[in-house]
Amino acid sequence: MTSEEIISCLQDRFPEAGIECLIDKGDAVVNVPLERLTELLRTMKVDPDFNFDMFMDITAVDWLERSPRFDVVYHLYSTSHNHRLRIKVKVDEDDPVPSSTGLWTAADWMEREVWDMYGIRFSGHPNLVRLLMYEEFKGHPLRKDYPYDKRQPLIEETWPSKKMQVKIDDRGIHRP
């Protein structure tokens, strides 16, 4: 299906207000409220017209000052129909997003990555622990309010030593 056909088909299935469809750079994009997310994703997976069998990615966008702070973005692809869909859902810091591991197994690590980087919780995920950063890491590094020069070394750093640090400060060399 082309993007236009996906959108008209979607609007047939979900005629109610609240689900907003548009075409952005040639791809179909759906903005969906958090309550309808699971229902929409299930339809996308099981409906033979859509048949999105490949779960490409989940990512998130941090808008810092906006009221639902994050966008969680799902990228779906259908290997049988060769079409794509992007699903965006607005969530706040404390809202848990329903996990999609039951539908696509691939969602497991991607949801862990989004939890690791943005601190967005996924309810119903079997093992929501950090994927990329180490356990001792505090905070979520891709949030806009994480300081860019904050370091959390795992072992003690012996350089620059105190004596050397004084010299560096004297010369005004920046080394974070």
Partner 1 sequence: MEITYGSGEKPPYQNAVDRILGWGRKYSIFFYPFITACCGMEYMSVASSHYDIDRFGAGLPRFSPRQADVLLVVGTVNHKVSPVLKIIWDQMTEPKWSISFGACASVGGPYDNYAVLQGVDRIVPVDIYLPGCPPRPETVIDGLLKLHDKIQNQKHDLFWKRRNK
- Write out the residues near partner 1 by the rule CB under 8 A: 132-134, 141, 146, 148-155, 157-160, 175-176
Q: How far is the CB of 156 from partner 1 (least distance, A)?
A: 8
Burial of 162 per CB tally in 10 Å (0-12, 13-18, 19+): exposed
Q: How far is the CB of 102 from partner 1 (least distance, A)?
A: 30
3-class secondary structure, 90: strand
HSE on the CB side for 146, CA within 13 Å?
15
In contact, 100 and 123? CB cutoff 8 Å: no
**Whose Cβ is closer to partner 1: residue 18's or residue 139's?**
139
**Whose Cβ is closer to partner 1: residue 66's or residue 150's?**
150
Q: How far is the CB of 141 from partner 1 (least distance, A)?
A: 4
Q: How far is the CB of 138 from partner 1 (least distance, A)?
A: 11
**Whose Cβ is closer to partner 1: residue 77's or residue 109's?**
109
Q: Where are the alpha helices (DSSP H) in the chain?
A: 3-13, 37-46, 107-118, 162-171
HSE on the CB side for 70, CA within 13 Å?
26
Q: How far is the CB of 165 from partner 1 (least distance, A)?
A: 12
Q: Which two tokens mark 149?
A: 């020069």
**Whose Cβ is closer to partner 1: residue 67's or residue 158's?**
158
Write the CA distances from 171 to 144, 162, 167, integer angstroms: 31, 15, 6
**Whose Cβ is closer to partner 1: residue 2's or residue 152's?**
152
